[in-house]
Amino acid sequence: MAVEAKRFDVVVIGAGPTGLTLTNYLGQAGVSVLLLEKLPHIIDYPRGVGVDDEALRSFQTLGLDAEVRRHVTPFHAARFIRPDGKVLATIDPTQMPFGWARRNAFNQPLVDRELYLGLSRFPNVEIRFEADVRSVADVGGQAVVTMADGSTVAADYLVGCDGGRSIVRETMGVAFDGKTAPKRFIVVDVANDPIGRPNLDFVLHPTRPLVSIALPGQIRRFEFGVEDNEVEGDIDITEEAMRAKLRDVFTDGEIDKLKIIRRRVYTHNARIASSFRKGRLILAGDAAHLMPVWQGQGFNSGIRDATNLGWKLAMVVQGKAAPALLDTYHTERHDHAKAMIDVSVAMGKIFAPPNALQRFVRDVAFAAVARVPSWREWIATMRWKPMPKMRDGALVPAKAIRGNDPVGTIFPQFRVEDVNGVPLRSDDALGTGFALVSWGSDPVTYFDGETARLLEAMGGRAFTIFPACQKEIVLASSLGSTPLFDPDGSAKGVFDRAEYSTFLVRPDRIVGAAGSPVDVARLVADMANALALTGR
């Protein structure tokens, strides 16, 4: 069977949140994409309930934040409580370093739908549902997908966002190391929230732990542990067992009034692929890593994958960077995904310890935390959450003066004003490409003959931020960079805390290089090398 005449830059398999987000990134960059999904529509059953600030920032970059926010409850706290109602610990971060609340509840099917609808903006994106992929191959200098009817389609690269049973991962022949927990759980979504209390409660019953979660749209989610004899088929529970679970929360009369809209049995997996890329085949989302739901990081880790991969894949297929750039995707994402898996596994052991001894140790630990304010704050502010700190990849390591190297970390988001006084979030002002950002000193002054060309080749622009009170003087001067203005000191605070005053920020908002204005030519040249930029 001949390969389809119409050839794409990228084929993405799987229209879950990772595939939808990646396709939006590629569509926004002008890449021709074919998105294949085996189902007749996007999934509409219980899955993720938590979206974090990093993911919301990604949706902001895609221009979909207003649509997504309609299905989000920000500042969604989590409490660990005893069956008698005593609160043992609370996770309730209020800081917003990336411009969004760190913990948010969301209605995933509706958010996925917004991501899907966002693809209609791009004439370079094609979507095919009921696409039964039978095989994939990296052959003849292209990635080839063969469908059930024998037809084929080719692309420069193929990204498998096709879940835990990924055909792309199987074809790559990479290991999927980890464990599957023996205990299964059921999630139950109830309409017209019968409890109404906001946030999320982990109820630490010694033998019947449960989770109660307030979700947008007046939905209440419950999660209960289930035994094998209570499961009916692979993904449902017997009606008798269902009522027995609900009796921990409601009377029989109240149960009869509940409107259950979804329920599904699931298993906790903790697995990660040994490699996220092999030639023209790439993995993202659940195809690359699976993690327990306890911290809601499965969804968010997939969005991080798409955010890291999208701009790199676009640069490569458009001929702006060599394929070596794609090697940095695995380098930068694998260890952080593994750290999130470990945190999720640990949280599951806190919620539902496998034996009485571990329950005793947990309760003693909670009692100790309650007596030490600094420990309570450490839990409440989520300082235990692994943050990206990339050591290798598409980066220019800095020689930190005080040992605080910002390279490889997430650049903060803050409020600025443009030359017309219009208030903006900094990401919206900087745009979707590379951004060379300085405080109070125009870095263009120190460009050499190649700097402007290299910055343009990587799709970058230069910006300088000034206090808003200096606007009149700044606008009367001659600047090579675009001026932005700090109305409230929040931007200055970012630079106050940093060792450097000039940052080369990547499209995924990771600091790629940092230094001083006088050193900017070297920073840009070194970043061009790190990107394997073509035409240097």
Sign of the C-alpha dihedral computed for residues 359, 345, 303 and 431 taken in this order? positive
Torsion sign, CA atoms 111, 48, 284, 75: positive
Mean pLDDT over residues 15-35, rounded?
98
Asked if residue 45 belongs to a domain, the reply is yes
Domain finish residue from 321, 351, 381? 351
Mean pLDDT of 14-37: 98
pLDDT, position 459: 94
Same domain, 59 and 153: yes
Q: Tell me how far apart the alpha carbons of residues 212 and 248 are, in angstroms, rounded to a whole number.
A: 11
| Alpha helix (H) residue ranges in 106-159 | 108-118
Domain span holding position 512? 415-530
Q: How far is CA 24 from CA 18, 310, 328, 461, in A?
A: 10, 9, 21, 22
Residue reference for tokens 């998105």 = 35
3-class SS of residue 502: strand
- Burial classification of residue 435, based on how many CB atoms lie within 10 Å of its CB (0-12 exposed, 13-18 middle, 19 or more buried): buried
The answer as to whether 281 is a domain residue is: yes
Q: Are 435 and 338 in the same domain?
A: no
In a shared domain, residues 422 and 515 = yes
Among 101-105, 114-118, 254-258, 388-392, which stretch is predicted with the lowest mean pLDDT? Answer: 388-392
Domain end marker among 297, 321, 351: 351
pLDDT in tens, 487-523: 999 999 999 988 889 999 999 999 999 999 999 999 9
Mean pLDDT of 224-237: 80
Please report the pLDDT score of residue 267 as a whole number: 80
pLDDT at 303 over 80: yes
CATH of the domain at 20: 3.50.50.60
d(C-alpha 359, C-alpha 391), whole Å: 37
209 part of a folded domain: no
What letter does residue 287 receive in the DSSP assignment? G
**pLDDT tens digits, residue range 438-462?**
999 999 999 998 999 999 999 999 9
Instruction: Kindly state whether residue 28 falls inside one of the protein's structural domains.
Output: yes
Same domain, 20 and 109: yes
Query: How much is the mean pLDDT over the chain?
Result: 91
Q: How confident is the model at residue 46 (pLDDT cuts 50, 70, 90)?
A: low
The pLDDT tens digits for 321-370 are 999 999 999 999 999 999 888 888 777 777 777 777 777 777 777 777 77
CATH number of the domain within which 518 lies: 3.40.30.10
User: pLDDT above 90 covers what percent of the chain?
Assistant: 68
Our count of domains for the chain comes to 2
296, 331, 351: which is the final residue of a domain? 351
Residue 227 within a domain:
no
Mean pLDDT of the region 192-197:
94
- The per-residue pLDDT for 369 is 75
Question: Do 40 and 167 fall into the same domain?
Answer: yes
Read off the pLDDT of residues 254-301 as tens digits, 9 standing for 90 and up.
999 999 988 888 888 889 999 999 999 999 999 999 987 766 678 999
In terms of domains, do 22 and 163 share one? yes
Would the pLDDT of 2 be above 70?
A: no
Hey, what amino acid is at 269? N
Does residue 56 sit in the same domain as residue 146? Answer: yes
* Statement to judge: residues 305 and 426 lie in one domain: no
Which is more confident, 239 or 301?
Answer: 301
The whole-number average pLDDT for the span 109-113 is 94
pLDDT of residue 380: 67
In this prediction, residues 21-41 reach a mean pLDDT of 97
Please give the pLDDT value at position 403.
63
Same domain, 62 and 134: yes
